[in-house]
Structure 1
Amino acid sequence: MVEITDEKGARAWLEMQPKQVCVAMAARIALRGLAALGAADGETSERLVLVVFRAVLVAGASATSPVAQESRLRSAARRAVNADFSGARPAMSAGAISHYAARVAAGMNPTKSITRAISSAVTLEASDPNPTPVISVGSRAVPDAFSAFNQDAVASVEAAESPELLFNEPVWRSVDEPEGLAKGRTSLLRFLDADPAKWDFWARWYRGMFDGQPMDWALQRDVALIPDGVWQAGPAEVAKRVAEIENQFAPIPPEAARAQAQVLLLRPQITVLQANGLRELIDRAVDEYRREVCNQLPDCLQPLENLPVILHQIAETADGDAPMTEKEAALMRILPLMARTISYLNRRLQAAHADKATGDPDKRRLFHDAFYGRLGERSAELITSKTLWGGLLLGATVLLGSSVENVQAGLSTCYESIIKPEAGQERFPPPPPHFPDPFDEA
């Protein structure tokens, strides 16, 4: 049974944990301390709030990232570490905690950095002879902080919770939030809610992370990878870029998702055939690439691996015995996930294509070198074939409907400008509007 009551015990436990568990623990420590920002106000507070939120978001995104994205997120964490965390007390305490959390994500002496974050958290304002009343933690913060940390540690080991699942719990779990921090959090949320043009995303992000209801992790990772120059331009510019990212993650409005779910359920046999056929095609392409070329897909194609599970859920729902209202509600949840996944695939391909244009020798190709060495041998050719990409486009058209034409057009563009040149394929089939819709009445 894990039992952590002090920094020494925390350090000993952390030294035995995988890196991503350490990063997740550091991020959750920082989330508990964000309330210290509630004492900040004015121009300085805007700068510090953005710097601190960025550091914690990057840490959370790093803790939950697929292996293929670790390098880019580690670089993002290093850039976050280099930001200016200075500010007035007691808000500076939150800056210190988040700074150390970002250092853990950046791989900078993780054990030492996380124990310093713990130290900053448990002594938050405790040593100040004249603590600010709204944020003062009081003596019970130290045992409470370690109790919350210990509960996360128990969950990660004994309940085998992954780093991602840790974030599905409130940051204080069953421990009461110290009164001073609760007051600071109220003040911080009031600050964020007062200027939604700048802080709406961060207010929603903070509430979700605090309550154990995090936003889509792929979305958070894209926010973490916003270029440094945008962060330095301030919260207004960051808000604009975040809005662009969020638009890409919500390609199907709720009413459109409902209408499309109803269309799919009118002809369940066609829905099952389309979903299962595309699932099998993707599985075959991925398995072939792993067998013939490399045991891991390129970073830019990683979202492909998420689609078969989603397609299976669509087929299973359409073919199930549940009441029609339950099926409709299930598809309303699943269809936006499929659209977001394809949208993410498009963005990863576009980002990889942009990386190639920089001339970086490490990013000169999308695929593993072995792929290019075997071109013409019909090895793993399905991953770049018209069969796969035409199937993806047809599947997106049939299963998602006309409300996501931007996603469908993105697939076509990615094939024409990125995939086809890599493998020397012929011209791609016509764009989505030209595909027949099997749901139309004859």
Structure 2
Amino acid sequence: MVEIADIDSLGRLEAWLNGQSHEVAVCIAPRAAAWVLPIWWHAVLSEDWARGREWTALTVLRCTLISYVAAKMPNEDIKRVASNAAATARTSASLASGAATHAAAAHAAFSAAFAASTAFSDEPVNTAFNAFAASINSASTAAAGSNNHSYSVSDPSTPAFAIWQSFRADASQMKDEEILVFMPLWQQGVGPFDGLWEKINGFVEGGDSPHDWQFWIEWYQALLDGRPMLGNAARTWEMLEKIALIKPEVWDQGPEAVNPMIHEIWDLVRLRIEAEELRAQKEAFLAERATPEQRSHNQPPGLVEAEPEIARHVTIIWAGLDEASEELAAKEPDKERLTQIAKGMLAALRAVAAYCGKLADRVIKAAASVIGAGVGTALLDHVANNGRLMQFAKDLLTWSVGGG
């Protein structure tokens, strides 16, 4: 049996993979593709052979994202879209193989993504091996011009060394039921292609449509960092699955068609997270300061009697937050309803802010004197000065009217 510490060649890697479970092999492939993804991405942004063909990074990005999702949730729907992504990649790969010799590194990176997208198959060991071999080939070829020992696994200055080192770190922490998406992509935290990644960011930021590629930039950065992209692992997987399941014909139309749809999904899931967190804040506030009756009716404690106009607006805001959260949780949220909720919340928030701003401390002090224990001060601060509530209502309106 090959020990992890002894894996320093493709032959030993293959022997080790043959002793692993299906799940482990499937988890190796997307990591291998992600290591060298910047090589292809940078090439299509900067090299004449790619720009002349109007290629983009989309095919490789799609394959890599789907390979991660397929490793986590290999259901039939995901397998179907993974098959389609692999078929599309196969066609593109045949075109890429005819490019100039200096494109070899980019082509190998493409091959790693293609192999990863087929890792759900009945032969995951072979596909994981192919993805890793292509990754090593891409990294080594990219470095060959400046380093005669680019294939070396003992020279710390080579990309190949970094890949082998990161693979062994992954393998030592791998469990059958886990995918290593939330571990830093590089074992040392710094990868050999960080310079390319900085250039990619610069190209995107200075391009014609940086907003359209923002998701992909943040998604890959989260892979590098080893963290859930949305901060919430469950919601991150929910989002990635939805993106993976976008219809193939939309992907086939290119970035102009699919990137806005991806951004809308991204915004929706972020709204769901924010609604959940704001509701939790509200419930914590009410649990500490309100009676059971007030909590059940979204009634602001004390202000019902002391400041009825403010109380009415606060009730509208809190009820709107509850309604928005429930509607956002639907499989297909009703955008017209969400538009009305957002408008109602914004109007109420602005009314409370204007009222408090006009009367300033006199209102807060009067409320506090009637309610006691500073509840009035805390309530008005919670609502009028809660920038997250206002921003949520604005973002909700933007998304619901189609401007996400």
Alignment partners' CA distance in 1, 2:242 and 2:53: 24
**1:101 counterpart (116, 136, 139):** 116
Q: Which amino acid aligns with 2:203?
A: F
Rounded to whole Å, the distance in 1 between the matches of 2:58 and 2:199 is 16
Compared with structure 1, are the counterparts of its residues 202 and 133 closer, same or farther at alpha carbon in structure 2 (3 Å cutoff)?
farther
Say whether residues 1:73 and 2:87 are aligned partners. Answer: no
Secondary structure of 1:251's counterpart equals helix
Aligned partner of 2:129 in structure 1 is: 115
> Which position in structure 1 is the counterpart of 2:202?
190
Letter of the structure 2 residue corresponding to residue 156 of structure 1: M
> Is residue 208 of structure 1 aligned with residue 222 of structure 2?
yes
8 Å CA contact retained: 1:46, 1:235:
no
Residue in 2 that maps onto 1:154: 172
The answer to whether the Cα contact below 8 Å between 2:276 and 2:325 also exists between their aligned partners in 1 is no
1:143 to 161, 164, 168: 161
Q: How does 1:280-359 map to 2 (within 5 A)?
A: none
In the alignment of these two chains, the number of paired residues is 288
1:119-145 deviations in whole A, cap 9, x for unaligned?
A: 1121226458x95669x9564333332
Q: Please point out which of 313, 320, 323 is paired with 1:405.
A: 323
How far, CA to CA, are the matches of 2:263 and 2:139 in structure 1?
A: 35
| Residue from 175, 181, 195 that aligns with 1:167 | 181
Counterpart mapping for 1:176-187 below 5 A: 176-178=190-192, 181-187=193-199
Q: Kindly provide the CA deviation profile for residues 283-307 of structure 1, in whole angstroms up to 9, marking residues without a partner as x.
A: xxxxxxxxxxxxxxxxxxxxxxxxx
> Of residues 12, 16, 24 in structure 2, which corresponds to 1:21?
24
Residue 56 of structure 1 corresponds to which residue in structure 2?
Answer: 64
In structure 2, the CA distance between the partners of 1:406 and 1:132, relative to structure 1 (3 Å rule), is farther
Q: CA deviation at 1:148?
A: 1.1
Work out whether residues 29 and 117 of structure 1, in 8 Å CA contact, stay in contact via their aligned partners in 2: yes
The AA in structure 1 aligned to 2:62 is R
Judged with a 3 Å threshold, the aligned counterparts in structure 2 of structure 1 residues 23 and 189 are, in CA distance, closer, same or farther, namely: farther
Letter in 2 for 1:141: P
The 2-side partners of 1:247 and 1:412 are apart by 15
Unaligned runs of 5+ in 1: 275-396, 415-431, 433-442
Q: CA deviation at 1:404?
A: 5.5
Identify the residue that residue 264 of structure 1 maps to in structure 2.
283
**Which amino acid in the other structure matches residue 191 of structure 2?**
E
Change (3 A) 1:120 1:104: same
CA distance in 1, matches of 2:37, 2:237: 20
In the alignment, the residues of structure 2 paired with residue 413 and residue 26 of structure 1 have an alpha-carbon distance, to the nearest angstrom, of 31
Query: Please, which moves more after superposition, 84-93 or 229-238?
Result: 84-93
Is 1:232–2:237 an aligned residue pair? no
Match of 1:2 in 2: 4
Q: Distance in 2 between matches of 1:269 and 1:101?
A: 51
Go from structure 1 to structure 2 and tell me whether the alpha carbon gap of 1:237 and 1:147 turns closer, same or farther (over 3 Å shift).
same
Please say which of residues 35-44 and 145-154 is displaced more in the overlay: 35-44
Letter in 2 for 1:150: R
State the distance in 2 between where 1:22 and 1:113 align: 8
CA contact (8 A) 1:199 1:239 kept: yes
Once the two structures are TM-superposed, the CA of residue 46 in structure 1 deviates from its matched residue by 6.2
Rounded to whole Å, the distance in 2 between the matches of 1:413 and 1:238 is: 20
How far apart are 1:174 and its partner, in Å?
Answer: 2.3
Q: Do 1:47 and 1:234's aligned partners in 2 also have CA atoms closer than 8 Å?
A: no
1:201 and 1:411 map into 2 onto residues whose CA distance is: 21
- Answer whether contact 1:193 1:203 (CA < 8 A) is retained: no
SS at match of 2:228: coil
CA distance in 2, matches of 1:408, 1:250: 14
> Alignment partner for residue 217 of structure 1, among 222, 229, 237?
237
CA distance in 2, matches of 1:46, 1:23: 32
What TM-score do the two structures reach when normalised by structure 1? 0.56
Instruction: Indicate the residue corresponding to 2:35 in structure 1.
Output: 32
- Structure 2 gap ranges (5+): 153-157, 230-235, 294-314, 333-340, 342-404
Between structure 1 and structure 2, the one with the greater Rg is: 2
Instruction: Identify if the C-alpha distance between structure 1 residues 52 and 269 changes in structure 2 by more than 3 Å, giving closer, same or farther.
Output: same
Deviation at 1:233, TM superposition (A): 0.7
What RMSD in Å do the two structures reach over aligned CA positions? 4.2
- Which amino acid letter does the alignment assign opposite residue 80 of structure 1? A
